[in-house]
Amino acid sequence: MPTEPVRGPLAGLRIVEFVGIGPTPFAGMQFADMGAEVIRIDRPGAVPLVPDHITGRGRPTVPADLKKPADLERVIELIARADALIEGFRAGVMERLGLGPDVLMARNPRLVYGRMTGWGQTGPLAAVAGHDINYIAIGGALDAIGPAERPMPPLNLVGDFGGGAMFLVSGVLAALLSAARTGVGQVVDAAMCDGASVLMTMFRELADGGAWIPERETNLLDGGAPFYGTYRCADGRFIAIGPIEPQFYRVLVDAIGLTQQEAAMRLDRARWPELRARIAELVSQRPAADWVDMLEHTDACVSPVLSLDEAPSHPHLAARGTFVELDGHLQPAPAPRFSGTPTEARPRPAAPLAIEEALAAWPPR
């Protein structure tokens, strides 16, 4: 546990996290980044399925064999001293371990019990395996993303992290506010299929208004609009352009040399393929650095398409300190930023901790 006072808006908040993969550790990282005291519970000698030297930052890991009554009781006692718990097991697993909400909330009525699953705690698929691609497929998100010929998985950002972890974080925080007022905790059932569906709200709204065509690469934001997409430059690099508003589009038109007649194709959806081909032709005549030097600091909405390795060196991100180095690993710094209760500029490293030390660090309240 930290030896110095922890900074951040969640300083003093206690959260127990059961180690998993994907959205649950990402949520735990978010809580720790914002100053919460997070203790992770994992099997003794467990080896991470995926590297967690970044998503595991900011909180210690306590080994506990939950099949041993003594370890199980000490974990239950630790949770009795916590404000919240987060777990990402399949529905019913925590109950079989003796750590279901009924057991834990009987000991700690104020406990907020955050549950992160793909399908949720109820419904016909609740007990079925799945991954991000499945959770976003049934809610309409996957169908809307990718080239015209087939849907394309958007990494696992929409289900696991956007529709999963961030909804878990916001749900747990909302329940903690309620518990602070009422003295009563509750279960937060965060399902990635639900969250990903909520992320599609604006597009459902556009569809209801007739402004969204259910065909990929035909709409404003799905690669259909020639003034919102990526283009290959003379050196093989790509730039992203997005001047949606007319006044911003005019800046791009003047810079790349579109004629007035060509620029007017913007208003004719049927001529978008023709306009896209013309913009591609013009952009391909210069290397990416030339376009970036010319347009990045204008309202043309042009940016270089950078790799993971290149991103930290971008002048804007470097100036903001968007990336930091911790334990030899370059990684995103905590976000968002708070004026009155600033977080640590550098996240706290992870560290092992014995269950006895964890209980000593969290005396009963």
Residue 58: partners with Cβ closer than 8 Å, 6 or more residues away: 29, 32, 33, 38, 347, 348, 349, 350
Rounded-to-integer distance, Cα 62 and Cα 78, Å:
11
Angle (CA) 327-332-335 rounded to 5° is 125
What does each C-alpha distance from 309 to 88, 96, 143, 365 come to in angstroms? 30, 43, 30, 45
**Per annotation, catalytic residue among 53, 71, 131, 299:** 131
Residue type, 292: V
Residues 6+ apart with CB under 8 A from 157: none
Query: What is the token pair recorded at 55?
Result: 């998503």
Decide if 347 contacts 58 (C-beta within 8 A): yes
d(CA 325, CA 48) in angstroms, rounded, equals 21
Sheet holding 229-232, edge to edge: 229-232, 238-241, 302-304
Q: Which pair of tokens denotes residue 220?
A: 């404003």
Which is it for strands 302-304 and 323-326: parallel, antiparallel or unpaired?
unpaired
For 68, the 3-state DSSP assignment is coil
Amino acid at 334: P
Question: Cα Rg for the chain, rounded, in angstroms?
Answer: 24
Whether 314 is a known active-site residue: answer no
Active site includes 53?
no
Residue found by looking up tokens 């009924």 in the block: 102
How far is it, in rounded angstroms, from Cα 352 to Cα 213? 52
Q: Where in the sequence numbering do the catalytic residues fall? A: 131, 160
